[in-house]
Structure 1
């Protein structure tokens, strides 16, 4: 009988970076246990992008989607959050909610995890948040009650983790995961170590994803600048696209998470008459990058996926994880905000294209020598 593994907290809402994380995890487990069965449980607090999930299945190693982890039937509203903050009881109430949901999840749902040789927590930006944190920590406790073989792929956490959770409970819960915990960045490692947890600095597992097939761009495409953005005001996006046009480049908008960015970006693209792309797969995003002269991005996985292409890159460092990569890779061109992107910056990105490609490739190579899989450091499988 083949071994059975589980992956929990996979984000299937349509974020291509999260699909790339899942692809890397599946490939890693499958490489060490070729005949195994892998069950995937997705997050219960986000919707599932069925079209992108089906497209993902066409290229990903085989797996079975078993539904979601145990859902929270009483999510906390913003009004209640404000009241709890005002009286200083938010952490206490959060702890009660986690305990309550863990007891409910420890029934038939939790017991099903006793069948797995190991349970793997999906990598990415995890654990933080009010309702999402309750769901994840409660499920972790329920799973650990039936199966102690729990491992995690590299994660990032933010300082908001402290704001809604007591440190003693955080340390107790995260210690249910087999050490060492792999942090995607130095801030996460420091925070985990402050909890007296065994944590090591690693790298995002997407760096180890199977490289998509490469192709040469047509001559006319080499003047294309691809904008891979999130959380940008529409007027700033529009102004940046116009500046790219005035610099003699063809601007194109690409969303790696259409449910988050698609409506705003498509509206801007339609108004200016430029192309808007929302690929179904992370490989499709890489293909679009390969067909572009420059990629402008403030998404971490926009930057990582660009390392699979031969494009020059202009990172927007308005997000901490992107800023960390720019600093560690010592990329020569970046801007603090989209409003700072101008013709001179785009010209520099073309002038320094070879250096940018070389430094991104070196950073990727360095990342692959860091811990990116719990199977590297635990010996599991």
Structure 2
């Protein structure tokens, strides 16, 4: 937010969404029982009603920007769509920061619901990757490609000093996923790299910290949860290779000048691999073999050339969009 404030010369206030159930049991039960349309309709109406709580906080705003990652999906997507449609009569325009949307999203939210909600926002929408852009255009929603806002941090990232006292040969693994799958795949990856200097890095301790701590303790390896994005960049600057399926892990590794191996079991990571044109990528964490990581290290200059070109292109495009 400070980057946008500095760039635009305007102030931004953060307003949280209405309180929501992360895993609404009743509605998920309806879906499992074969009533997804009823589940969607009931939940959508409930969230529209809850969204009215924040009307007093936003009614005087010149505009609303929806800040989110790929959360136009599942029940969280219903939260977002219900909120923006409820607020639309009170605030215009309602815009989005560059965001991702999974190709599977219309399977649950339906194209009609997405067109109603997303199509009611200030157009064109800003898709932050080529896969999301294709999804939005397939729904006949006007959209354009605008890079992720984290690219705006490039000058600040360049000034971050490398973390001292670190082994420059270490391999950093920053992967995420559902806890059960992550535990299995990360465990297997750690075993494959036994005897090599590796470190597990979570970019969201709340989501992955317990799994990382468990595996690190079992194998006697280091794991960490950097407190700030600058700390993460400092760690990335002292790494042989960064292995990650986190979009912001990929972007920040690029800003840090670290050779990166995208793990493409998440659409955002897959889009990053496509857009940067890096010479190596893994389909999932199971495909991350020592030989593949060594290939990334061997082709370090080629990888860095791809990520540097992508960084500069995205920075220019984001600047044009902001200003």
Alignment of 1:65-76 (within 5 A): 68-72=16-20, 75-76=24-25
Could you report, residue by residue, the CA deviation over 1:89-132 in whole angstroms, capped at 9, with x for unpaired residues? Answer: 423541343234324533x53243111111111142122112x2
Alignment of 1:1-381 (within 5 A): 25-34=1-10, 36=11, 38-41=12-15, 68-72=16-20, 75-77=24-26, 78-83=28-33, 86=34, 89-106=35-52, 109-130=54-75, 132-210=76-154, 211-212=156-157, 213-216=159-162, 221-231=167-177, 232-246=181-195, 249-371=196-318, 375-376=322-323
* Partner-residue secondary structure (3-state), 2:203: coil
Q: In the alignment, is the contact (CA less than 8 A) between 1:110 and 1:145 conserved in 2?
A: no
Which 4+ residue blocks in structure 1 deviate beyond 6 angstroms?
none
Q: For residue 76 of structure 1, report the CA deviation from its aligned partner.
A: 4.6
If the length of structure 1 is used for normalisation, what is the TM-score?
Answer: 0.75
Please give the alpha-carbon distance, in whole angstroms, between the structure 2 residues aligned to 1:219 and 1:352: 25
* Partner-residue secondary structure (3-state), 1:308: helix
Q: For residue 201 of structure 1, report the CA deviation from its aligned partner.
A: 1.6
If the length of structure 2 is used for normalisation, what is the TM-score?
Answer: 0.88
Please give the alpha-carbon distance, in whole angstroms, between the structure 2 residues aligned to 1:161 and 1:235: 26
Please give the alpha-carbon distance, in whole angstroms, between the structure 2 residues aligned to 1:218 and 1:237: 27
Q: For residue 254 of structure 1, report the CA deviation from its aligned partner.
A: 0.5
Q: In the alignment, is the contact (CA less than 8 A) between 1:97 and 1:134 conserved in 2?
A: yes
Q: Which has the higher helix share?
A: 2
**Which stretch shifts more, 351-360 or 168-177?**
168-177
Could you report, residue by residue, the CA deviation over 1:272-323 in whole angstroms, capped at 9, with x for unpaired residues? Answer: 1111101111111111111212111121111111011132222222222212
Q: Which has the higher strand share?
A: 1
Mind listing any 5+ residue stretches in structure 2 that lack a counterpart?
none
Q: For residue 170 of structure 1, report the CA deviation from its aligned partner.
A: 2.2
Go from structure 1 to structure 2 and tell me whether the alpha carbon gap of 1:292 and 1:96 turns closer, same or farther (over 3 Å shift). same
Please give the alpha-carbon distance, in whole angstroms, between the structure 2 residues aligned to 1:230 and 1:104: 31
Q: For residue 187 of structure 1, report the CA deviation from its aligned partner.
A: 2.7
* Partner-residue secondary structure (3-state), 2:255: coil
Go from structure 1 to structure 2 and tell me whether the alpha carbon gap of 1:215 and 1:252 turns closer, same or farther (over 3 Å shift). same
Please give the alpha-carbon distance, in whole angstroms, between the structure 2 residues aligned to 1:273 and 1:93: 46
Q: For residue 364 of structure 1, report the CA deviation from its aligned partner.
A: 1.3
Go from structure 1 to structure 2 and tell me whether the alpha carbon gap of 1:101 and 1:237 turns closer, same or farther (over 3 Å shift). closer
* Partner-residue secondary structure (3-state), 2:200: strand
Q: In the alignment, is the contact (CA less than 8 A) between 2:131 and 2:267 conserved in 1?
A: no
CA RMSD of aligned residues (A): 2.5
Q: In the alignment, is the contact (CA less than 8 A) between 1:153 and 1:374 conserved in 2?
A: no
* Partner-residue secondary structure (3-state), 2:256: coil
* Partner-residue secondary structure (3-state), 2:311: helix
Please give the alpha-carbon distance, in whole angstroms, between the structure 1 residues aligned to 2:316 and 2:277: 18
